[in-house]
Amino acid sequence: MIYAGTSGWAYPAWKPSFYPAKLASVKFLGYYASRLNSTEVNYTFRRFPTAKLLDGWVAATPAQFNFAIKAHQSITHIKRLRDAGESARSFIAALQPLSEASRLGPVLFQLPPFLKCDPGRLKDFLVELPKDQRVAFEFREPSWFCDEIYDLLRGANAALCLAESEKLETPNVQTADFCYLRLRDPEKLTSQKARKDLLQRVKDLAHRGDVFAYFKHEDSPKGAIHAEELLASAKD
């Protein structure tokens, strides 16, 4: 299965190219979910979500829609995975309304760019995570890109987030039975050829398992439009 979307959906600047000009902001998620089948939630990086909030997201979206959730900063940026197992389990437990509704995708642990490779830290953290929850790790310091780290991720069926940005590109290494892509380099989406190459890459990855692909969002609806194009092309 291919899941594609953007990081978030609450962007009035997407009117009228993506959202209808008169669409109320409270209806953004429902409309977004009528065109795309997943979103990556950044809100949870700063706040633990309430059950009421998550129930609202479930009610606003169809059964096949999926939420990928960014882990709280207390886990990744304050504790930096050290002695963070209990915090991670509490965070994942807070996502239960999504899990019970079969709407919970991977939890993304995005590490700070100043954190250098520490295999022991990662190994200790991985063993603390629930085995039935898909997780992905985005490393933003290149020393993490090595065989020792890949082997640790494979042992836990945790995905290496394949992140592409203007600053850093993750090696194309698969470590889990699913793939997680963060597509943040606008230069790679400016041409039809680049988007065709991306489609073929995603199709190839989908032969090995589910693919979760999230485009850059911010003030332009281009990411959402690219995601919709990807989903449509993948059906051909």
**In the predicted model, what is the mean pLDDT of the chain?**
93
| Separation between Cα atoms, residue 215 and residue 203, nearest integer Å | 16
**199 vs 193: CA distance, rounded Å:** 10
Burial pattern 139-168, b for ≥16 Cβ within 10 A else e, equals: bbeeebbeeebbebbbebebbbbbbbeeeb
State how far the Cα of 163 lies from the Cα of 130, in Å rounded to an integer. Answer: 24
Write the pLDDT tens digit of every residue in 75-110: 999 999 999 999 999 999 999 999 999 999 999 999
Q: Which structural domain, as residue segments, surrounds residue 88?
A: 2-234
Domain count of the fold of the chain: 1
pLDDT of residue 157: 98
pLDDT of residue 195: 82
CATH number of the domain encompassing residue 136: 3.20.20.410
pLDDT tens figures, 108-127: 999 999 999 999 999 999 99
Q: What is the pLDDT of residues 157-197, one digit of tens each?
A: 999 999 987 678 899 999 999 999 999 876 667 778 888 88
Residue 65 has pLDDT above 90, yes or no: yes
Indicate if the pLDDT at residue 199 is higher than 70. yes
pTM, full prediction: 0.94
